[in-house]
Structure 1
Amino acid sequence: MSSPLFQKLSISYFCYFSLLGLVTPFLPVFLDGRGFNSLQIGEILAMFTATKIIGPTLWAMVADKSGKQLSIIQLGSTLALLFFTLLFWVDGYWPITFVLAIFSLFWTAILPQFEVMTMLSIRRNAKIYARIRLWGSVGFIVLAVLAGEVIGRFSSEAFTYLGWLMLLMLAGSSYLLKQPRERKLRVGEASSILSKILAVNFVIFFIAGLLLQISFGPYYSFFALYLRDLAYPDYAVGLLISLGVIAEIAVFFIAGNLYSLFGARLLIVFSLLITALRWYLTGYFADNLTLLLIAQLIHAASFGLYHSASIQFLQQHFQVNQQNRGQAIYVAGVYGIGGALGAYCSGVVWQDGSGAQMAFEYAAIACFIAGCFACFIKPPIAK
C-alpha cells in the first residue's frame, strides 16, 4: 500500500471519528441544554440510533450492485452536512428529532463503506487496518477533549458549531479518496447472503454484539451528565473518555498479533466479560477516581479489541461480493437495534440521575450474558 493512500485513508478515519468524539459524549449535553429531561433524551437518542437499522442496509445494497463505496461515502457525508446545518435554526422535540434522524440516516452510510473500501485497499491486512483505524481514535480524542473544554467555557450550543466544522472536513476528505479495484468474481460464485445470515455461528455472534451495544446505553446516553452530577469538572468528561480511547489505540497496535494468537472467539469473549466488570465499576464506584480510571481503561477491550476481532470475523464469514451487505446488516442490527434499545431503556431507568446505578447494573448483566453466548462462537473458516 502506497504512503499517499495510507495518509488519505487515515485522514478520512480521523475526520469521521472526530465527529463521533463529539456526538457520542456531548449530544446528550446539547439536548439537556435545550431543556429536555432524561426520558426525552433517551427517546431522541433511540430514534437517532434507530436510523442505523435502515440506512446502512439500503446504502449497502446500492454499493454491492454498483461496487462504488466511495460514491456512497461522498454522498452520505455531503447530505449529512446539509441536514446537520438545520440544527442552527430548529428547536423543539419533534423538529430536533427529525433533523437528527435524517442526519444520522446519511452519516451511518459512511462507516460501513469506509471499512469495506479500506479492507479492499489494503488487501485485508489486519496490521495495516489497525494502524489506519488508530487515526480515528486520535481524532476521537482530539474532539472529545476540545469539545469538553469549549462547551464548558461557552455553552452546549457550541456542539452545533464544532459538529458542522467536522462534517465539512469529513465531506472534503472524502473527495481525496479513490475507489479501489475489486477482484472479479468467478463464474458461478455464490452471492446469496441468506445462508450466511442464518448460520448458527453468525446468529450467536450477532446476539452477543447486540447485547454489548445495549449495555453501552447508559454510557453513550448519560456519561457526561453522570460525571456532572458527581461534581467532576467540565474538562473531566473529555479527559476520561480520551483515556479510554488512548487505551483503545494501544490495542490497535497489537490487534493483528492478538488475532493471530488467540482468534476471534477468545478475544470477543474476553472483551465482553471484562466490559461487564467495567459497567459495574462505573455504576457503583464512579465517585472513586482511581476505579473510574480503571473502568475507562477497559474501553481498550470494550471497543478496540472487540471491534478489531469483529471486523476480522465478518471478513472471514462473508464472501467478497457480500461484504457491503454483511457489514450493513451487522451495523443495522447490532448498532441500530442494540443502540436504540440501550438508549431508550437507559432513558427510562435513568430518571434524571436517580437510577444511574441501576442502569449500569443492567448493562453489566447484559454484557455478562453476551460473554456466555460468545463462548459458543466457532472460529470462521478462512477463504
Structure 2
Amino acid sequence: MKSALFLRSSFSYFWYFGLLGLIIPFLPLFLDGKNFSSVEIGEILAIFTATKIIGPTLWAVLADKTGQQLGIIRLGAFLACAFFTFLFWLNDYWPVVFCLATFSLFWTAILPQLEVMTLNSIRRSAKIYARIRLWGSIGFIFFAVVAGKVIEEFSSEAFTYIGFIILFGLFLSTLLIKQSKIKQSQITKTSSIKGKLFNINFSVFFIAGLLLQLSFGPYYSFFALYLRDLQYPGFAVGILISLGVIAEITIFIYAGKIFKHFSVKNILVFSLITTSFRWFLMGHLGDSMLVMILSQVIHAASFGLYHSASIQFLQRHFDPSQQNRGQAVYIGGVYGIGGAIGAYLAGVLWLNGAGSTTAFDMAMLAAFIGAILALFIKVSDRDKNA
C-alpha cells in the first residue's frame, strides 16, 4: 500500500474516532451541565444512538447503487459538522434531541463506507487494516485527554467547541482521500443479502454483538459521572479512557498474529466473557483505582479484539457486492439497537448514581448471555484455514 494512501486513510480514522473520544466520555457531562436528569440523559443517548439503526442502511444502499462511497463520506462529514454547530445555542430537551439525532444521522454515513473503501484498497489485509485503524485509537486518546483537561479548566460547554474543531478536521481529511475507479458492471450487479441476513450463523453472531453493545450502556452513558460520584479527580476520566484505548491499540498491533492462532468464534467468546467480568469489577469495586485500571485494560478484548473479529466475520460472510449493506446492517443493528437499549436501560437504572451497581450488573449479565450464544457460532472452512 502506498504511503500517501495510508496517510490519507489514517487521517480520516484519526478524526472520526477522535470525535468518539469526545462524545463517549463527555456527552453525558455536557448534558448533565444542562441540568438534565439521569433518565433524560439516558433517553437522549438512546435516541442519539438509535439513528444508527436507520442511517447506515440508507447510506449503504445509496453507496451500493451508485458506487460513490467517497461522495457519501464527504457529504456526511459536511452535514454532520453543520448540524453539530446548533448545539452552541440549544438548551431545551427536544431541540437538543433533534440536533444530536440529525447530526448522528449524517455522521453514520461515514464509517461503513470508509471501512469498505479502506479494506478494498488494502486487499482486505488484516495487518494493514490494524495499522490504519490504530490511528483511530490514537485520535480517540488524544481528544479524550485534551477534552478532559479543557472541560475541567473551563466548563462542560467546551464540549461543543472541541466537537466543532474535530468535525471540521474530519471534513477536511475527506477531501484528501481518493476512491478507486469502479467499473459500471460492479455498480449495477448487486446481489440480495436476504439469505445471508437470515442465516442462522449470522443471527447468532448478530444477537451476541447486540448484547455486547447493550452491556456498554452504563459505561458509555455514565462513566464520567460515575467517576465524579466516586470522587476521582477530573483528569481521571481522560486518563482511564486513554488507558483503555492504549490496550485497544496493543491488540490492533498484534491482531494479525492472534488470528493466525485462534478462530473468530473463540476470539468472540473470549471477548464477551472478559467483558462480563469487566462490568462486575467496575460495578462492585469501582472505588479502587487498581481495579479501574484493570477494567480498562480489558477494553482490549471488549472492543479492540471483538471489533477486529467482527470485521473478519463480516468480510467472510458477505460477498463483495454486499459489503456496504452487510456493514450497515451490522452497525445499524448492533450499535444502533443494542446501544439504544443499553443507554435507555442505564438511564432508568442509574437513578442519579444510586443505582450504578444495578446498572453494571445488568451489563455483566448481558455480556455473559452473549458469550453463551457465541459458543454456537459455526466455524467455516475459511476460518479454519485462516
TM-score w.r.t. length of structure 2:
0.97
Cα 1:268/1:185, change in 2 over 3 Å: farther
Distance 2:380 2:288 in 1: 41
Distance 2:6 2:311 in 1: 19
Gaps of 5+ in 2: none
Distance 1:381 1:112 in 2: 26
Q: Deviations over 1:334-359 (max 9, x none)?
A: 00000000000000000000000000
Indicate whether 1:374 and 2:374 are aligned.
Answer: yes
Indicate whether 1:213 and 2:227 are aligned.
Answer: no
Distance 2:189 2:147 in 1: 49
Distance 1:268 1:182 in 2: 34
Q: Deviations over 1:230-275 (max 9, x none)?
A: 0001100000000000000000011112112212101000000000
Q: Secondary structure at the match of 2:263?
A: helix
Distance 2:189 2:68 in 1: 20
Distance 1:362 1:249 in 2: 28
Contact 1:42 1:343 in 2 (8 A): yes
Query: Which residue in the other structure is 2:347 paired with?
Result: 347
Q: Secondary structure at the match of 1:82?
A: helix
Distance 2:364 2:324 in 1: 31
Contact 2:65 2:188 in 1 (8 A): no
Distance 2:337 2:323 in 1: 20
Q: Deviations over 1:304-328 (max 9, x none)?
A: 0000000010000000000000000
Query: 1:80-95 alignment to 2 at 5 Å?
Result: 80-95=80-95
Distance 2:178 2:66 in 1: 15
Query: 1:129-278 alignment to 2 at 5 Å?
Result: 129-182=129-182, 191-278=191-278
Distance 1:220 1:134 in 2: 21
- The CA deviation at 1:89 is 1.1
Distance 2:126 2:359 in 1: 35
- The CA deviation at 1:137 is 0.2
- The CA deviation at 1:180 is 2.1
Query: Which residue in the other structure is 1:53 paired with?
Result: 53
Contact 1:276 1:364 in 2 (8 A): yes
Contact 1:76 1:107 in 2 (8 A): yes
Query: Which residue in the other structure is 1:305 paired with?
Result: 305
Distance 1:256 1:275 in 2: 21
Q: Deviations over 1:195-244 (max 9, x none)?
A: 00000110000000000000000000000000000000110000000000
Distance 1:28 1:194 in 2: 37
Q: Deviations over 1:64-90 (max 9, x none)?
A: 111111111000000000000101111
Distance 1:107 1:372 in 2: 33
Q: Secondary structure at the match of 1:141?
A: helix
Query: Which residue in the other structure is 1:290 paired with?
Result: 290
Cα 1:17/1:345, change in 2 over 3 Å: same
Contact 1:313 1:380 in 2 (8 A): no
- The CA deviation at 1:91 is 1.6
Query: 1:317-328 alignment to 2 at 5 Å?
Result: 317-328=317-328
Counterpart amino acid of residue 166 in structure 1: I
- The CA deviation at 1:181 is 3.7
Q: Secondary structure at the match of 2:176?
A: coil
Contact 2:64 2:187 in 1 (8 A): no
- The CA deviation at 1:54 is 0.4
Q: Secondary structure at the match of 1:268?
A: helix
Distance 2:278 2:184 in 1: 45
- The CA deviation at 1:189 is 7.4
Distance 1:189 1:76 in 2: 25
Q: Deviations over 1:22-69 (max 9, x none)?
A: 001100000000110100000000000000000000000000111111
Q: Secondary structure at the match of 2:262?
A: helix
- The CA deviation at 1:127 is 0.2
Counterpart amino acid of residue 376 in structure 1: F
Q: What is the aligned length?
A: 383
Query: Structure 1 stretch 176-185 or stretch 199-208: which is displaced more?
Result: 176-185
Distance 1:175 1:257 in 2: 34
Distance 1:278 1:51 in 2: 27
Q: Deviations over 1:287-307 (max 9, x none)?
A: 011111101000000000000
Gaps of 5+ in 1: none
Distance 1:185 1:171 in 2: 30
Contact 2:66 2:187 in 1 (8 A): no
Contact 1:317 1:381 in 2 (8 A): no
CA RMSD of aligned residues (A): 1.5
Distance 2:44 2:167 in 1: 21
Cα 1:190/1:139, change in 2 over 3 Å: closer
Query: Which residue in the other structure is 2:39 paired with?
Result: 39
Counterpart amino acid of residue 248 in structure 2: E
Q: Secondary structure at the match of 2:232?
A: coil
Query: Which residue in the other structure is 1:103 paired with?
Result: 103
- The CA deviation at 1:109 is 1.1
Cα 1:358/1:55, change in 2 over 3 Å: same
Distance 2:345 2:21 in 1: 23
- The CA deviation at 1:192 is 1.0
- The CA deviation at 1:379 is 2.3
Q: Deviations over 1:103-155 (max 9, x none)?
A: 00000111111111100110000000000001000000000001111101100
Distance 2:207 2:316 in 1: 18
